[in-house]
Chains A and B, each alone.
Chain A
């Protein structure tokens, strides 16, 4: 999911950086500073998730976890994901510094979307909580794949083909992330409900 250096054109990189900066500014403004530890916990989870590889058929996939980060943090997910991606870039050589803005947009925009779409469903019933978690995990990867296709479109000029390849390739990730996010929110709601914003309202 991390785009490498040297793939995208200058205008795409600049646009990504601008959107990421605007999102980060809004995110920092919206952070509830009493919940800053939750932001750090989820940013750390995102930071290490990409190291967990799961073999699916001949391919090897890894977790991304932008769904659960966005679901629980909303706009605060943008600075959280930015920090984690920056550290992944520096420590693990994933992605790169020039492409950081675009990678933030690809992963953080769907994260914010799932917050507004699925957070209201959490806590209504165990089944609905799991379903909301599953959809958040699934949908965030689906949207990230679309945004990735969109970013590459400006290079390849073949949006549908590129997006189809990316979405098909990420179907296992969508399912795995959906299940992981579903179980995580169900579990968190039982043992640590303070981390779920809906519970505090």
Chain B
């Protein structure tokens, strides 16, 4: 009986695609390189947004391109010739998870140097980084300060 339950649990776990997993910080990062627009999507550095839909719209909201991320959360496509506006790349990671990235029109026509790519990668790493210990401790500190403030206010009024 115990083994049966374990097998059922394992099967359910394996059937769940990572793209609908429970992470809440959804990131899409895009950059232009060699006439292509490259995207990387994730729920943080180690959790890739697999098989998620990417919709590309122009400034007016018209859908100009659609695609799907691979198992590494990557998706690349050729720069669209007929579009003369910024591009907004929307990632739909399912179950209420969504993110977007804007590529400026000037970026689409410019030739990216290795330095630009390096800067873009640094920005990507910064985005994917988890919260620092200072933010966590700071958040807990704020909760306790709010609780004390509420208690103090209540004591003052009663």
Contact = CB atoms under 8 A, between A and B. Distances in A.
A56 interface: yes
Contacts of B100: 6
Q: Which of B16, B18, B43, B46: most chain A CB closer than 10 A?
A: B16
A151 B13 contact: no
Contacts of A148: 95-96
A165 B155 CA distance: 48
Contacts of B131: 51, 91-92
A175 B10 CA distance: 12
Nearest to B95: A166
Contact of A33 (B22, B26, B96, B150): B150
Band of interface residues on B = 35 or more
B131 to A, nearest CB: 5
Interface stretch (B60-68, B76-84, B137-145): B137-145
Interface of A: 1-8, 28, 31, 33, 36-37, 39-40, 43-44, 47-48, 50-51, 53, 56-62, 83-84, 87-88, 91-95, 148, 151-152, 162, 165-166, 168-173, 175
B17 interface: yes
Interface of B: 9-10, 12-18, 20-26, 43, 46-47, 94-100, 130-131, 135-136, 138-140, 142-144, 146-148, 150-151, 154-155
Contacts, number: 130
The 4 closest A-B CB pairs, nearest first, are: A57-B13, A2-B24, A40-B147, A3-B96
A3 B92 CA distance: 12
A7 B135 contact: no
Contact of B18 (A1, A58, A87): A58
Contacts of B148: 36
Given A51-B136, A148-B96, A170-B22, A87 B154 contact: no
Given A60-B43, A152-B95, A4 B143 contact: no
